Amino acid sequence: MNIKCENITLISECSSNDLHIERSGLQNAAFSENDMRGIVIEQCNLSNNCVRHSDLTGACIESCKLDGMTIDGINVQQMMDFYKNNFKENLTMNKATRKAIIAGNWKMNKTRPEAKALLDELKGMVADIKTVEIVACVPFTNLETALAATEGTNIKIGAENCHFEKSGAFTGEISADMLAEMGVEYVVLGHSERRQYFAETDETVNKRTKAALAAGLKPIVCVGELLWERECNITEEVIARQIKLDFFGIKAADLKKCVIAYEPVWAIGTGKTATADQAEEVCAFIRATLAKLYGADVAEAITIQYGGSMNAANAAELVSKKNVDGGLIGGASLKAADFTTIIKAAENG
Ligand code: PGA
């Protein structure tokens, strides 16, 4: 339900779980004894707000005017200023503070016994990795095996797609809820093979992304230009269009749960890697596009991966780039030793 209201001066004893308030003038408002868990407040004027005796667990306040706002008598702006001055390095969002994520995209490979063997080998090799998020995105049939094999390890499991409806007459499809219920954490969406061979469009990628987020999954959304689009010099137009459409209607707080994988279509499975400079150029462009849409702080916080023939030999140079925060790895993720080398490269990147 969307409501527009004016001149609120008191909200009292309400339950407002997961409420989203944006672009509103809420100055001088008083919130008292409210259940405000999960509330998201963006681009609002909260000057002289008074929040008392309320549960703000998981609340998110972004890009808001805060002067004079107090929470249980504590001046929020003063608290923020103190924090910024004393812990400045923690607030400087840059590559060092973004999460590097190396995700394997197994595609249509591995039976269950093969999946278990690969993960058993991998988990021993990467057990001491702490600063890189390791993800294996596996075929649906391998999810249960993969979840069991990696339980209690630092390897997260992802799926390779999900449908956008919650349930229903969609023969052969799998919903985001079904994945989340299993314990799956990530899902690859909009992979170019899905777009090319299974007629997926930016519109359905957008719907899938929203469905995945609603189910609590972390989407890895793939974007990338075709070879002829690059040759026609329209790479940036193509990427900007994909970003705008794939994330249309997705709020900043949700965008932060997404990973973006820049995968030039001409580099996938072809052995032709984008040069590190080409990868950096487009990843930086993606970040600049996000900054225009969501603001610099949000853009700086998003993990942007490169994908396309990334391997043990070229990973270090790719992930050393300022805007390349990891990789989505196809072929090389099917060999534990190669995948480990890539993960270790990201640890140092
Ligand atoms: P590749 O695949 O590493 O085999 O090129 C990457 C991907 O499709 O995600």
**Mean pLDDT, to the nearest integer, of 195-202?**
97
Is 163 catalytic? The answer is: no
The position carrying tokens 């809820």 is 177
**Alpha-carbon distances, residue 103 vs 92, 94, 114, 138, 160 (angstroms):** 25, 21, 18, 10, 11
Which token pair is 110? 């591995």
pLDDT digit string, tens, across residues 320-337: 999 999 999 999 999 999
The CA distance from 173 to 264, in Å, is 27
Q: Is pLDDT above 80 for 62? A: no
pLDDT digit string, tens, across residues 209-224: 999 999 999 999 999 9
Burial class (CB in 10 A: 0-12, 13-18, 19+), 82: exposed
- Whether the CA torsion 284, 288, 294, 300 is positive or negative: it is positive
Out of 310, 314, 334, 338, give the residue to mutate to test ligand 1, the one with the largest number of ligand atoms within 8 Å of its CB.
Answer: 310
Q: Distance from the CA of 254 to the center of ligand 1, in angstroms?
A: 26
Helix (H, G, I), strand (E, B) or coil at 256: coil
Is 191 catalytic? The answer is: yes
Burial class (CB in 10 A: 0-12, 13-18, 19+), 214: middle
The position carrying tokens 């969307």 is 2
**Mean pLDDT, to the nearest integer, of 261-265?**
97
Q: Distance from the CA of 273 to the center of ligand 1, in angstroms?
A: 10
Q: What pLDDT, on a 0 to 100 scale, did the predictor assign at position 88?
A: 39
Q: Distance from the CA of 260 to the center of ligand 1, in angstroms?
A: 14
Q: What is the pTM of this model?
A: 0.76
Q: Is the CB of 307 inside a 6 Å radius of any atom of ligand 1?
A: yes
